[in-house]
Amino acid sequence: MKGCVQQELPWKGCCVTESVETLAARVNGTIRGDHLRLIDDAAAIETASPSAVTFVMNSAQVSRLNECRAGAVILDAKIALLIPDPARFSLIIVADAQLAFQTVLPLFRTIRPRPERGISSQAHVDSTAKLGPNCYVAPGVFIGADVVIGSDCDLHPGVVVGAGCQIADSTTLHANVVLYHDVVIGSRVIIHSGAVIGADGFGYRFAAGRFEKIPQLGTVQIHDDVEIGACTTVDRGAIGPTIVGEGTKLDNLVMIGHNCEVGRHNVFASQVGMAGSCRSGDYVRLGGQTGIRDHAQLHTGCTVGAKSGVLKDVPAGETWLGAPATHELDQKRLLVSMRRLPDMKDQLRDLEKQVATMAAEMEKLKEAIAGTILSATEAPIAHRAAG
């Protein structure tokens, strides 16, 4: 914008400088190149400066290093073989490049500590609620009647915990998370801001010309080590619980309908919508904006691509794509066919012209044959008349 002065924001927060040699020692890596080069930042390949370290996760990213200005690159031994000598940057060769980069990244970032333990005087905690030791309860938190919260939990500003909820140890509820009544949350669960757990399921019956609400009298159970993204919703069951299994990760803006049972270690990307009474096995992966119809079964280890519409059960281990979703091989055949449609249209037009030409020639041939037959028939008659 005209008139604005661009300023470098202090987003890094840290002023740490380490040599390539020191970084390599931290991740049990070996070095190819300058051991003494100084590094004061970590960045992506495209934005890394000469004093920054970056990483390459697979061979497909090697070409991106052509324009890279980084001082050091973390990679594995196989990818290091693809980097010519002499390199413009130091190479730190490790077994797992992504893990090594995650290890050194905190050196160059400000890591905020957990808030000071204690219950704010500006929080409302019902007299019947029970909280374990070492919890943080921020200003503006509301904890209802008969709530049980384990140890080492963090409840950030604006969190609402409805009556009868149970929260196990070391769970974090970020700002403005809402738990409706009687929701059960496991240990080491992370729920991000704006998520709503336990709202009424979308259940109605149509009678006498209007929709009547079906009571939603179940609950929600979130098992251990689940992470739920910002503004995601998990509806309570109508009769029993809606379940999110151990280790599952739900992105922002995911919708889990009432009575669903999500298996263990599932990963759902943003804007996935799972209608009521769906079930997924373990290790199921859903791409962004995928929609699952009610009562569908997603069996163990299956994958559904982004923007797919699942209308029937997906078998174990298969990958489905498209709307309506089918096996990836079927979709690839369909895609190839669709790409050929313009050529097929031209071919069809040519065939129509050829058929029209052949039809016209057939008519001419029929007329010629008819004339010949007529002439052959009339000749004997004329001969007899002359005799």
* Catalytic residue ranges: 258
End-to-end CA distance of the chain: 112
